[in-house]
Amino acid sequence: MMCFPDFPYPDDYPNYMHQSKLQEYIKTFTLKKNLLRYVQFETLVSSIKKCLSFLVTGQWEIVSEKDGKQESAIFDAVMICSRHHVYPNLPTDSFPGLDQFQGHYLHSRDYKGPGGFQGKRVLVIGLGNSGCDIAVELSRLAAQVYDLKGLGKQT
């Protein structure tokens, strides 16, 4: 469901991809479509304003800064990606007794790898993309990985 319509995943990719596979797919797509020429890394956008002719053209003036140099450019569209997933939502008040829990809990944003989960029993709450990726990765070394309903070990 997450692939680009004109660029399907390779046949040898698994259904539940590790983040490294997804990153490999995006890099391959970017190279095949020659998109890197449109990307500016490590560039600060310092100003976004409607052009004086906005009502006619719909264009925007963007001022950016890189290496101490300012540059102005005109764009037909602006997309602001504010990364709402960057702020984790950990509703601890929804889990009565959590303050007495002897184990460790964390948000998927704080998960950096399977180290430290060897031989442990792990409960994954929320099986979106991140939850599934983490459950699959941990199933290889944790004693057991359960979903919220406790349906058993993830494979």
Q: What span, in angstroms and rounded, lies between the C-alpha atoms of 75 and 45?
A: 13
Region 96-124 average pLDDT:
92
pLDDT in tens, 34-63: 999 988 889 999 999 999 999 999 999 999
**pTM (predicted TM-score):** 0.55
Domain ranges of the chain: 21-80, 87-147
- Considering only residues 81 and 109, tell me which one the structure prediction assigns the higher pLDDT: 109
- Whether residue 151 is predicted with pLDDT greater than 70 in this model: the reply is no
Q: Pick the closest to residue 16 from 115, 104, 131 (CA basis).
A: 131
Beta carbons of 61 and 51 less than 8 angstroms apart: yes
